[in-house]
Structure 1
Amino acid sequence: MITRRSFTASALASVPALGLLGRRGWAQGMRDVTFVQPSPSAINSFPVFIAIGEGYFADEGLNVRVEAINGSGAVLQALSAGQAQFGRPGPGPVLAARSRGVDAVAIYNVAARSNFGIVVQDGSDIQGVEGLRGTVIGTGTADGAEVGFARNVLNGSGMVEGTDYTFLTVGDGGPATAAFLNGEISAYSASTADAAILNQRGMAVRDITPPEFARFFGNGIATMGDIIRNDRGLVEAWVRAHMRGHAFALDDANREAALAHLAAGNPQEGEDREFQSALFDAVRSKTLPVEEGGPLGLYPAEVWEEWQASLVAGGEIPGPLDDLSAAWTNDFVIAANAAING
């Protein structure tokens, strides 16, 4: 039988969204922790919601509240302002923030395979990235991870923003559908979830992203450098619980329990069970390690180098960071893997 733990809605005054509070979190001695995600979807942050539902965070003494805000830029702002201890931004926004002096550090590679792609309407004449010259490309947010990803892909084809193409912030879901139908955009930089939602709503789209960009990992867990330095035990506890939630979700024997926890986290996503299940499969597939059987959550150093090069080429950061290695770490993932798997 699936055990449903109760959740209580709440919101930060400055970060309006949804909140979740594990039932066991009311026990004395539990530490309150806030996690910010760049959209309301529970499925996109499935390891967190499953770790809440299965009690893995509670096992670590953590009472986790989830807040949904708009895009990776807002996630990093909340982290740097001390409104949250952990978040799920994209790698491009993390590097851009660090170029401005924000000491954000990526600690867990959730979307080990790119969870973004450039999509066009299924009946579009555009067959590849070259067909996007002179077009307008829609994005969900102005400064989210999907923007950096699309700019990276287009730079790879020798295109320059503002000269060969332009971005237009249109939102996701219904607004993105309307932008396609109204002819405002010819393509859309979409997450795996965004593309699934468009298809579900009758806006059939297809991905034209060159396959070599699959290596560009997507959003992952980040925290602040001062938390790592001053509260290392908190980060270790978070990563252990998160990894357990991630591993639980990858086991098909746990599928029904996982979907129940995700429905508790976002009831709207759970209303259509068939769609919820298909979206979960699509998002989950992007979190598998690129090397089959490899540890969960590890970052490849060479792809961080490629992300940085793309941001420099696109003008998103003025030049290479003084110390790119300070932007990310595998230390906590390695330690968690050893603690969980021996």
Structure 2
Amino acid sequence: MITRRTFTASLLSAVPATGLLGRAAFAQDMRDITFVQPSPSAINSFPVFTAIGEGFFAEEGLNVTVEAINGSGAVLQALSAGQAHFGRPGPGPLLAARTRGVEAVHIYNVAARSNFGIAVQEDSEYTSIEDLRGKVIGTGTADGAEVGFARNVLTGAGMTEGEDYTFLTVGDGGPATAAFLNGEIDAYSASTADTAILNQRGMAVRDITPAEFNRFFGNGIATMADTIANDRELVEKWSRAFAKGHAFAMDDANRETVLAHLAAGNPQEGEDKEFQSALFDAVRSKTVPSDDAPYMGWYPAEVWEEWQQALVDGGEISGPLDDLDAAWTNEFAEIGSEAVGG
């Protein structure tokens, strides 16, 4: 568990919604809500910042503050400690946390298409996952979603951590670039945003992840089971506003407005307009629902089963959960879909 003091000390950015509200006015009885994300990027959480900027949360009586902390593990700690109401952790860390008694629940499939990949330098001799046998794989965090994803891919190639490969936590952005240049890592388990940043900083990389792993959805919106049981109205309000923000941002007619909201959420990302636009396109493309999805935010049950099996095979959890279905639900994404007329 983390205390408020250590949580604050680890804070990378905090964005109060009051400075981002669009046309909607605050109601007399606004409720303060905290959302935690595993990195400071506003683009990675673009539906949240869009919903804030367009006033969709305010219309539901919610005053949302966004806090960025380091990785999915920290997000789940903040949720379980009652320091946040909603967060955006990866499915692997969430399932692992549930084996430790953390009753977090995924309620919206944001990255419906895998937003992670294993990247190597553009001029590297490595062309397949098998080429990484005996190599060092860099990660942004020690327990983030990118670690579980990479372990899943490497296990699928018949490799065992500690015997056939090792992970090295190097951070993202500049530190990851330095790790490549210094020869500390041979490959990097990266999100769509991480890869774009590396390329933008002159470290040209390419993704060698097998196509079949695209079905492994990435980070989604989560809350605690107690919140669903005891404060269902809050979860429904959040879900309606979030879905509206997602739908609004998916419409190219709203593109410039959305980019302005994202720049307000993270001014540094908005300094290079061309890069911001390209990164937004890359991240947004990963949130397009699969062809068989009935609405945005929908989770396929069979991929949860595959995620769980991957964690078992990789040794991250000792065995299947007693009730895997308790780790996720589609009911609130459906409520959100109804709110946008989907």
Instruction: Return the TM-score normalized by structure 1.
Output: 0.95
> Do structure 1's residue 274 and structure 2's residue 274 form an aligned pair?
yes
CA drift of 1:13 comes to: 3.3
2:167 aligned residue: 167
Out of 8, 15, 30, which is 1:20 matched to?
15
Counterpart CA distance in 2 for 1:159 and 1:340 is 44
1:131 aligned residue: 131
Deviations 1:58-115 (A, max 9, x none): 0000000000000000000000000000000000000000011100000000000000
Q: Secondary structure at the match of 1:101?
A: coil
Unaligned regions of 5+ residues in structure 1, if any? 1-10
Taking a change above 3 Å as real, the CA distance of residues 132 and 236 of structure 1, as seen in their structure-2 partners, is same
Is contact 1:15–1:67 with CA below 8 Å preserved after alignment? Answer: no
Deviations 1:253-294 (A, max 9, x none): 000000000000000000000000000000000000011774
CA drift of 1:194 comes to: 0.1
Q: How many residues align?
A: 332
2:77 aligned residue: 77
CA drift of 1:158 comes to: 0.3
Matching of residues 80-119 of structure 1 within 5 Å: 80-119=80-119
Counterpart CA distance in 1 for 2:155 and 2:102 is 26
Amino acid at match of 1:284: R
Counterpart CA distance in 1 for 2:262 and 2:164 is 41
Show structure 1 runs of 4+ deviating over 6 A.
Answer: none
Counterpart CA distance in 1 for 2:279 and 2:294 is 24
Counterpart CA distance in 2 for 1:103 and 1:294 is 27
Q: Secondary structure at the match of 1:296?
A: coil
Counterpart CA distance in 1 for 2:277 and 2:294 is 25
Counterpart CA distance in 1 for 2:210 and 2:303 is 16
Counterpart CA distance in 1 for 2:173 and 2:126 is 21
Instruction: Return the TM-score normalized by structure 2.
Output: 0.95
Q: Secondary structure at the match of 1:223?
A: strand
CA drift of 1:211 comes to: 0.1
Matching of residues 1-342 of structure 1 within 5 Å: 13=8, 15-23=10-18, 27-291=27-291, 294-341=294-341
Counterpart CA distance in 1 for 2:316 and 2:297 is 26
Deviations 1:100-139 (A, max 9, x none): 1100000000000000000000000000000000100000
CA drift of 1:14 comes to: 5.2
Counterpart CA distance in 1 for 2:9 and 2:187 is 33
Q: Secondary structure at the match of 1:117?
A: strand
Q: Calculate the aligned-residue CA RMSD, in Å.
A: 1.4
Counterpart CA distance in 1 for 2:340 and 2:46 is 19
Counterpart CA distance in 1 for 2:182 and 2:208 is 21
Is contact 1:119–1:195 with CA below 8 Å preserved after alignment? Answer: yes
**Aligned-residue identity in percent:** 76
Counterpart CA distance in 2 for 1:205 and 1:125 is 12
Counterpart CA distance in 2 for 1:123 and 1:154 is 21
Deviations 1:157-178 (A, max 9, x none): 0000000000000000000000
Is contact 2:10–2:70 with CA below 8 Å preserved after alignment? Answer: no
Amino acid at match of 1:135: K
Counterpart CA distance in 2 for 1:132 and 1:178 is 19
Counterpart CA distance in 2 for 1:109 and 1:99 is 21
Is contact 1:116–1:146 with CA below 8 Å preserved after alignment? Answer: yes
Amino acid at match of 2:301: A
Counterpart CA distance in 2 for 1:336 and 1:26 is 21
1:5 aligned residue: none
